[in-house]
A = this chain, B = another copy of it.
Amino acid sequence: MDRRSFLKQAGLAGAATAALATPAIAQSAPELRWRLTSSFPKSLDTLYGAADTFSKYVAAATDNKFQIQVFAAGEIVPGLQANDSVSNGTVEMSHTANYYFWGKDPTFAAACSIPFGLNTRMQAAWNYHGGGNDLLNEFFAKFNMYGLPCGNTGAQMGGWFRKEMKSAADFSGLKMRISGFAGKVLTKLGLVPQQIAGGDIYPALEKGTIDATEWVGPYDDEKLGFYKVAPYYYYPGFWEGGTVIHVMINKEKWESLPASYKSIVAAAAQAVTTDCLAKYDHVNPQAIRSLASKGMQLRAFPADFLAASFDAAKATYAEISATNADFKKAYDSMMAFRNDAYLWWQVAEFGFDNFMMTQQRAGKLS
């Protein structure tokens, strides 16, 4: 027996011994208790609730062996530090809108939602079948994280304004509470973005410290009561055409999971992508009616504001792409899909919706 085959045999024997020493069952279904920190408060029951649903799916699939305890924003760390605590291993998981972390790198915004990006279904198409998830995970790995889409809000609203907005010029000097990356784009139109925590928005709007705020959509917005102090409710929230919520996992922790648990987590997250969106799509129709009965004034954004914002977004993407290869890669991949996706969208999908919306306006659906 030569030395090499001896080592080989010894190695094989060693592997067999190791396998015997650790019963297969213990390897494949360990008892785990993980913590997930949400970026959302419990009052956002659609978003906070999506993490709860995710956790329940995983627990039920593993006979409660893999338990993920969900903490609301602020219970362990503030909502906007959720990913930091995953990166450094304080918690195993977060559930978040990645654009909150655009200040670290705008590629986080591309992972979540950027102005005039993809709509909800296109976002899923790109993530699951257009290489999006793999591409983003190359980026997330630099922050010691692995990410899976786990929820979507659908197209959001443009928010609540104290005064009616007649043209793009009205947005110059406007103090608006708006999420970070969209705010950066809109500074090109003179808008003055404000960062204010959820609970502080209403008094700021009431006093006139700010002129406008965006939040999510009818169901979530109604609870905060903005319609009482800023009744003009604008659409569409073009910076959130189909906001992807992710579950972010500490990379070593993810890699330590047995294959079956990885599969369970991935399927649960993909299932929650459907479930979270389905909940929004079920509750928003009632909420918009309810808001209308309370004095909300529904308005479309002025056309010149949309056009100027579109140009501002394009200019912003060009600036970032010039210096940030990760952003450029994600952005270019999305854009390569966007044009044909919207060409096709105009045919069967819009053809169907357009007829149905026409019937709705004619009172023929009730």
Contact = CB atoms under 8 A, between A and B. Distances in A.
Contacts of A310: 355, 359, 364
Given A267-B61, A339-B360, A238 B353 contact: no
A24 to B, nearest CB: 9
A227 to B, nearest CB: 15
Contact of A218 (B155, B236, B344, B366): B344
Interface of A: 25, 28-29, 57, 60-63, 116, 119-122, 124-130, 154-157, 217-218, 235-238, 241, 258-260, 263-264, 267-268, 270-271, 273-275, 277-279, 281-286, 288-289, 298, 300, 306, 310, 335, 337-353, 355-357, 359-361, 364-366
Contacts of A338: 365
B236 A351 contact: yes
- Taking chain A's interface residues, is the majority helix, strand, or loop, or is none over half, making it mixed? helix
Nearest to A364: B310
Copies in the complex: 2
Contacts of A281: 121-122, 124-125, 129, 341
Contact of A125 (B260, B278, B355, B366): B278
B285 A129 contact: no
A234 to B, nearest CB: 9
Contact of A274 (B237, B264, B274, B300): B274
Given A61-B61, A124-B274, A366 B339 contact: yes
